[in-house]
Amino acid sequence: MTLEELKKAKVEAMKNHDKDGVSALNLVINKVMLQSIEFKAQGKEMSEADIVSVLQKAEKELIEEREAFSKAGRAESVESLDRQIETVKKFMPQLMSEEEIKAEIAKLDDKTVPSVMKHFKANFAGKVDMKLVGEVLKKF
């Protein structure tokens, strides 16, 4: 996933008159651009894992906003936010399943918690739910 792909998707959403899709993509594009500026200031390049991280944060913010509107009884806003959340989810990679995580842990020589977590952060950033890795590791 790149910034250019997100911008193309936004243009497509605009052509389709999908205002919720445009809103969600505006949120993500702005966050990616801000993150990119911060990285450039530090002399780093933004990776795909960094973009996935921004997508995850945007999704979390939209979910929290949805919960607040739900508590306030604003059904129209809740429906709009549901559509925005779905738009963001379309751009997120498929996360590893519990079975895939177990198989990856089984391949490792060192199965200590810090070692396993470090391995997954280094090799599967943005492609795995670290909370799920911890849960699977406890059962291992």
Summarised one tens digit per residue, pLDDT across range 94-121 is: 888 888 988 888 888 888 888 989 998 8
**Residues 32 and 88: beta-carbon distance below 8 Å:** no
Q: Which residue matches tokens 């129209």?
A: 76
Q: How far apart are CA 95 and CA 126, in angstroms?
A: 8
Q: How many CA atoms within 13 Å lie on the side-chain side of 133?
A: 24
Q: Name, in order, each residue with C-beta under 8 angstroms of 12's C-beta and a sequence gap of 6 or more.
A: none
Report the candidate in 134, 127, 123 with the shortest Cα–Cα distance to residue 94: 127
Q: What is the pLDDT of residues 37-94, one digit of tens each?
A: 999 999 998 888 788 889 989 999 999 999 999 999 999 999 999 999 999 999 988 8
The pLDDT assigned to 21 comes to: 94
Region of 73 on the Ramachandran plot (φ > 0 left; ψ -120 to 50 alpha; else beta): left
